[in-house]
Structure 1
Amino acid sequence: MNMTVNLIGAGNVGRVLGRLLAAQDGFRIQQVLTRSATSARQAVDFIGAGSAIDDYAQLQPAAIHILAVGDDQIVPACAALARAVPLKDSIVFHCSGALASDRLQAARDAGALVASVHPIRSFADPAGVAAQFAGTFCGIEGDDGALAVLTPALQAIGAQPVTIDAAAKTVYHAAAVFASNYLVTVLDAALRAYQAAGIPEAVARQLAQPLATESMANVFRLGAAAALSGPIARGDLATVARQQEAVSAWDAPTGALYRSLIAPTTDLAKRKHAK
């Protein structure tokens, strides 16, 4: 197998995938297309392979086309790709976590197999990610023929592909927001509440850290229901009501956040005691 790969868009995700694929037998980075010749050359330097171009008219046919562009550019980039080169029997995939492979309909109409591949990690340090990519989960979905090629390719670069339901792609992406972004928001509420009780911010972080880390460790070891503790898990609704009132009096938005978490936490407690 010697598959040519074109990379369209070369942000951090595209650069990392390009470097990792370039290092694998059976794949050859052919062209890297970005909005400017300078950024394309920088991407080629990072990847260590390929030729830099800055116009779709310069594209050559390839076995695989990676659309590593922003979400709002996936549809127009795919349309431009379909106009630029023959796509019959090639594979086109994008790297969005929020959008499904159906956004690549222009490529599918041109005879390509389509998919999406979403590496589930931060790419703030692309060189570091490329060096430590092994074990990275990738949410994948799309045409069976595309996945039959991409799954072993991803495994070869150290990824762990996980098949997801394309119809639930937005919910899938929201899972990462819950697990990361909203978790930070809830912890911020905890730190601010400690400070409202007169505790310095640095000490507040020290107080919250063991609670947060032990709770997360228990979730990943035991499951969410078994890990739940506290007044709702104990059925101490009087304490919950007092806290709700006190937090709302201190800071109305944080009180609203507290209130919004009562019902789902109560449901989680029911699951805990049903086991």
Structure 2
Amino acid sequence: MNERPALHVLGCGRAARAVARRLLETGLVRPGLIVNRSLSSARRAAEFLGAGEPAERLDERVADGWLMLGLPDGVLADSGGGIGRVCPWAPALVFHLSGSVEAAALEAIGALRAAVHPVRAFADPESAAARFEGTWCVAEGEDAALDLLRPVFEAAGGRWLPFSAGDKSAWHAATVAASNFLVTIQDLARELADRAGLPRAQAAEILCDLQQGALETLRERPPRDALTGPIERGDAGACRRLAAAASGLDPQRARLFHQLARATLELARDKRGERDEDRAIEALFPLTSD
């Protein structure tokens, strides 16, 4: 291409807003059309980006640029060709941001295609955009598409990692387990800390620091070697007190605690072998409420 391609965006939610802002800030792409659920939401997205033309639908101008799709996985994976109907004009390049849908799902659009999964939480687009530097961008698709996208994402601060999609849903599950489940565990920990009587603000800070320390250790060693605590030590007395604390939770939350305790026990067994106390510890965390 002799000039900077226009970056058109279809589906400008939280992730797409943060990513589009960073890509536009590189100057390697120029603003294009912004299409969202409604014209008013497209206008809000353009305001966030500080650029772009809000529109109700894509038009023939897409054919001269790049199209980024921030659409739900179900829409991207529609085997009925829904994507092709949404965009009948083949852009020079099309890519989506999903971690679970393969780039091949975009074949109906008839353009160079790729999937780029920025591995970051996007709960707050403003914060995500500000902290995008160093974000892993796991990408797959056609080589020519990846070659065009890589320098733009790297200029935006991303760390580029191409891979060949095997079971891509397993990769998505890995990121959910590492990120979303971590948030769920933090919520459970805060509930227990609240019951213990700790001030909420300080408890949240302490628990986040604790998780951060565990994550830093995990950068240096595998999970089994990073594991510590009463279950790993085989301390049945301390585990009995853990089970007593969990009994004060509602049944669903107690089952979650028990399941996590059992999974931790299995990891501990893998690390240091079976111990006499392990069966007693296992019995403290039944998987049913009976």
Q: TM-score by structure 1 length?
A: 0.78
* 1:199 and 2:201 matched: no
Deviation at 1:270, TM superposition (A): 4.1
Partner of 1:142: 141
Unaligned ranges ≥5, structure 1: none
C-alpha displacement of 1:195: 5.1
| Counterpart contact for 2:7–2:32, Cα < 8 Å | yes
Mapping 1:75-94, distance limit 5 Å: 75=78, 78-82=83-87, 84-87=88-91, 90-94=92-96
In the TM superposition, what whole-angstrom CA distance separates every residue of 1:153-202 from its partner, at most 9, and x where no partner exists? 21111111223453332222222332233223333434444555x53453
Please give the secondary structure, in 2, of the residue aligned with 1:116. Answer: strand
- Per the TM alignment, residue 94 of structure 1 is displaced from its structure 2 partner at its CA by 0.9
Tell me how far 1:210 sits from its aligned partner. Answer: 5.5
Q: Measure the CA separation in 1 of the matches of 2:124 and 2:208.
A: 25
What is the aligned partner in structure 1 of residue 255 from structure 2?
256
Residue number in structure 2 paired with 1:231: 230
Q: Partner of 2:8: helix, strand, or coil?
A: strand
Q: Which amino acid aligns with 2:120?
A: R
Aligned length, in residue pairs: 266
**Does the CA contact (< 8 Å) of 1:244 and 1:255 recur in 2?**
no
**Structure 1 equivalent of residue 102 of structure 2:** 100
Provide the C-alpha distance between the structure 2 equivalents of 1:60 and 1:137, rounded to a whole number of angstroms.
Answer: 28
Please give the residue correspondences for 1:1-275 in structure 2 after superposition, counting only pairs within 5 Å.
1=1, 2=3, 3-57=5-59, 59-74=61-76, 75=78, 78-82=83-87, 84-87=88-91, 90-107=92-109, 110=110, 112-194=111-193, 198-200=196-198, 202=200, 205=204, 208=207, 211-236=210-235, 238-239=236-237, 242-243=240-241, 246=244, 249-251=247-249, 252-273=251-272
Deviates more, 1:42-51 or 1:94-103: 42-51
Q: TM-score, normalised by structure 2?
A: 0.75
1:269 is paired with a residue of what secondary structure?
Answer: helix
Q: How many Å apart are 1:263 and its aligned residue?
A: 4.2
CA deviations 1:23-48 (Å, max 9, x no partner) are: 33442233223343333344334434
Gaps of 5+ in 2: 274-290
Q: Is the 8 A contact 2:121 2:179 kept in 1?
A: no
CA offsets 1:182-228 (integer angstroms, 9 cap, x no match): 223333434444555x5345375577566444333322343322221
Asked if the contact 1:191–1:201 (Cα under 8 Å) also holds between the matched residues in 2, the reply is: no
Partner SS for 1:56: coil
Q: Which moved more, 1:180-189 or 1:142-151?
A: 180-189
CA distance in 2, matches of 1:18, 1:211: 33
Q: How far apart are the structure 1 equivalents of 2:272 and 2:34?
A: 55
Q: Which runs of 4+ in 1 moved over 6 A?
A: none
Q: How many angstroms does 1:247 deviate by?
A: 5.1
2:197 alignment partner AA: I
Instruction: Name the structure where helix makes up a greater proportion of residues.
Output: 1
The whole-number CA distance in structure 2 between the counterparts of 1:268 and 1:26 is 47
